[in-house]
Copies of this chain bind each other. A is one copy, B any other.
Amino acid sequence: MSRFSEPQHPVFQRLNASVDFDWRLAPYDLAQSRAHAAMLAACGVITEAERDELHRGLEEVGTELDEGRFDFLPDDEDVHMAVERRVTELVGAVGGKLHTARSRNDQVATDMALFVRAHGARTHDALWGAMRALVELAERHLDWPMPGYTHLQRAQPVYLSHHLLAYFWMLERDAVRFARVVDAADRLPLGAGALAGVNFATDRQMVARELGFGAVAENSIDAVSNRDFVLDYLSAAATCATHLSRLGAEIVLFSSEEFGFCRVADAWASGSSIMPQKSNPDAAELLRAKAPRVAGHLVALHGVLHGLPLTYNKDLQEDKEHLFDAVDTLDLCLAAAQGMLETISFDQERLAAAASDEFLAATDVADLLVRRGIPFREAHGVVAGLVRRALDRGVTLSELSRDELAAESPALDEEFYEVLVGGRWLESKVSEGGTALERVREQLDRARKALGEE
């Protein structure tokens, strides 16, 4: 019997009910209920026979869910109520004992923590897949020169492998972040009750062990108020999605006729409803487009928590859809990134042609002067003069005459022309982490090691 004299308004029910989305928590709700019942029995709050009945009911609900036979009813406000209602139908009045020494407040916080732990680990694995695809792609294109850009202007040539591995290290940092998300959800909320703890000497450590938590939440008020681990997942997801947006945007760019560097496989491209010649890199565009969605979820949850009084407020129900959509979006994006990378093809000639632009060696010419004792800042000025001359005359740097060189600096001699011979500019970048082939090979070793050992 409720203390309310009126039924809920249908509009309120639509606003209030969460079962349309929180059904996804069902497996976690079952796992925690199983552990909770086991603990209640171990502590003597319920009998072993009652525990067995509850376990039987929970198992049957699990089977119904797995087999798609579980019916959510109109009056099931949320997944917790639906599960308890069904358990009670299956095992009778003892089902009403499941909620002993537990509140929906600590229950939902525990479900969310379990969900974040499971999905943090899954996202971590999905990153592994994309990272492997990058390493393999880099190995297949180890010594293909391409222009490196700054400000989207050709700057210095690099190997395609080196460029691809830049994304590897971004995703590697993401993987570290998701490992920490799993840690962040490692304190068990269950046992906090509504907010103050419960009236029974329960054994939270036992539940924690059973459910794989490393510790119990130290403060019952914090335990039911805390959604930091959801923020942590969303933040890691937003950074990862931003990385993928850069990858997607570069694939779109490199797929343009003007760049012509790569081509997304047909299995990852779309045609046009009106222009039969088009092959559009839709998957890459969507990688780009999804990042703001995830960042939007992050900022929204910060908004929900902003200024919120402690313990449970209904506002906390707004953590779920943001998290669930971020999880689904990131899963899909990572799978798409991996699939696209596994099948993308590059155009060696177009890349090489773009990389052979002599202006890309300007820094190298300046460094030649530096080796002759000219301060870099001055050498930079000399080469700027050469570039200006070449542009004015419409020639390449190597087409400048000895006299023109001399007019800019007496230190410019024959070696100037040697510096401009193709390929040198890449192999001269010998500093650690640089694009010289030897350095890229070291980097690939480190990448493989990161994948193999983490």
Contact = CB atoms under 8 A, between A and B. Distances in A.
A272 interface: yes
Interface string A237-258: 0110010011011101101111
Contacts of A197: 429-436, 439
A16 B429 contact: no
Interface in A263-319: 265-283, 285-286, 288-293, 295-318
A339 interface: yes
A385 interface: yes
Contact of A276 (B295, B317, B387): B387
Contact of A225 (B16, B166, B249, B375): B166
B278 A150 contact: yes
Contacts of A336: 11-12, 15
Contacts of A266: 4-6
A157 B311 CA distance: 12
Interface stretch (A113-121, A201-209, A399-407, A410-418): A201-209
Contacts of A322: 293, 296
A266 B429 CA distance: 30
A315 B150 CA distance: 11
Residue of A8, A204, A220 most packed against chain B (CB within 10 A): A220
Contact of A193 (B242, B245, B434): B434
Contacts of A256: 149, 152-154, 258
Interface stretch (A25-33, A63-71, A358-366): A358-366
A217 interface: yes
Residue of A148, A228, A313 most packed against chain B (CB within 10 A): A313
Nearest to A104: B273
Residue of A94, A196, A366, A431 most packed against chain B (CB within 10 A): A196
Nearest to A250: B309
Given A286-B16, A289-B314, A300-B292, A155 B195 contact: yes
A88 B149 CA distance: 30
Contacts of A315: 285-286, 288-289
Given A149-B311, A155-B311, A235-B235, A96 B375 contact: yes
A381 interface: yes
Contacts of A298: 298-299
A304 B295 CA distance: 11
A398 interface: no
Given A302-B242, A431-B200, A383 B296 contact: no
B199 A363 contact: yes
Contacts of A363: 193-194, 199, 274-276
Given A248-B307, A271-B384, 8 more contacts: A3-B388, A11-B336, A12-B268, A103-B274, A200-B431, A232-B239, A274-B366, A289-B315
A107 to B, nearest CB: 8
A236 to B, nearest CB: 9
Interface string A315-329: 111100110000000
B286 A1 contact: no
A5 B402 CA distance: 24
Nearest to A257: B154
Interface string A20-55: 000000000000000000000000010000000000
Interface in A316-348: 316-318, 321-322, 332-333, 335-336, 339
A372 interface: no
Nearest to A4: B266
Contact of A282 (B151, B157, B333): B151
Nearest to A246: B308
Interface in A162-220: 162-163, 165-170, 173, 180, 184, 191-202, 204-205, 216-220
A222 interface: yes
Interface in A349-402: 354, 357, 359-360, 362-364, 366-367, 370, 375-378, 380-381, 383-388, 391
Contact of A105 (B150, B154, B290): B150
18 contacts: A11-B332, A96-B377, A105-B150, A148-B221, A151-B270, A151-B278, A152-B309, A166-B222, A173-B184, A194-B275, A205-B432, A216-B433, A220-B435, A253-B309, A274-B363, A289-B316, A298-B298, A306-B306
